[in-house]
Amino acid sequence: MMFNIGSIAHMFHFTQSTLETSRAVILAAGLGTRLKSYTEHKPKALMCIADELAIVRVIRSLVAQGIHDIAINLHHHAALIQDSLGNGNHLNANLYYSYETSLLDSGGGVRTALDVLPSGRGVVVHNVDILSNIDITELIHYCPVHGSALALVNNPKHNPHGDFLLQQGRIISKREAKSYTFSGVSVWDEHVLRTYSAQQPFSLLEPIQQNITHQSCAGVVHPGFWFDIGRPHDLVQANRFYHEAYL
């Protein structure tokens, strides 16, 4: 069953968020091991999708939705990514870089990258290998105070059992009921993330589970297109889709 994110705050009496943001963190530090030979000499962020770099497509999508201050965490082939993107002015973005000498995992990467962004409260978190038309502005508007809002998708073949159960707009721990897969796109009240120390590795799943426990994790099923290009098959599919839809 699909729920309109606009009804979430009412149904569960979330404190109405006044969260606004023009900031994001793109997680791009991973080794890209699932892409095997594709990422031997370049990171998955620089995979071409219909003649445009994957990370450029992510940045353009964020900018189109009002997100202009964007931090990118880097580790694998870090210099190649920075050299390709520069300061981001040509993309109407202000790009900041957060370097990881050793991988900090998803949560540690986001928390550490916050320190290179301009100050604010809300922040979008976007995996670099996710291409979609997820409506980030709605996620921002309905992100609970001291919480998070996750975009969910119907379970793909590589994750048939899903990650979370969505119950009338609130994400709860997975039980014996229909579950959904986390899309890799979320919005956060950064207060949650700043309870952790920078430069310390942890999974983003940790604060997500805390928010679930505190009943402050909203979710919406995304009905549009979504590709996780971290796998060769999905990379090929995304290329085909973008060639047909945009070229």
pLDDT digits (tens, 9 = 90+) for 72-114: 999 978 999 999 999 999 999 999 999 999 999 999 999 999 9
Q: What is the CATH number of domain 21-29+36-246?
A: 3.90.550.10
Q: Residue ranges per domain, the chain?
A: 21-29+36-246
pLDDT at res. 238: 92
Q: What is the pTM of this model?
A: 0.91
Give yes or no for residue 18 having a pLDDT over 80. Answer: no
Lowest mean per-residue pLDDT among 86-95, 144-153, 177-186, 193-202: 177-186
Closest CA to 5 of 200, 218, 176: 218
For 72, the 3-state DSSP assignment is: strand
Across residues 13-42, what is the average pLDDT? 72
Query: What is the predicted pLDDT for the residue at 44?
Result: 87
pLDDT in tens, 120-133: 999 999 999 999 99
SS3 content of the chain, % helix, strand, coil (to 5): 35, 25, 40
Residue 73 belongs to what H/E stretch? strand 69-74
Position 169 scores a pLDDT of: 83
Strands 217-221 and 148-153: parallel
Is residue 231 over pLDDT 60? yes
Judge whether residue 52 has pLDDT over 50: yes
pLDDT score of 145 more than 60: yes
Tell me the average pLDDT of the chain: 88
**Mean per-residue pLDDT for 39-65?**
90
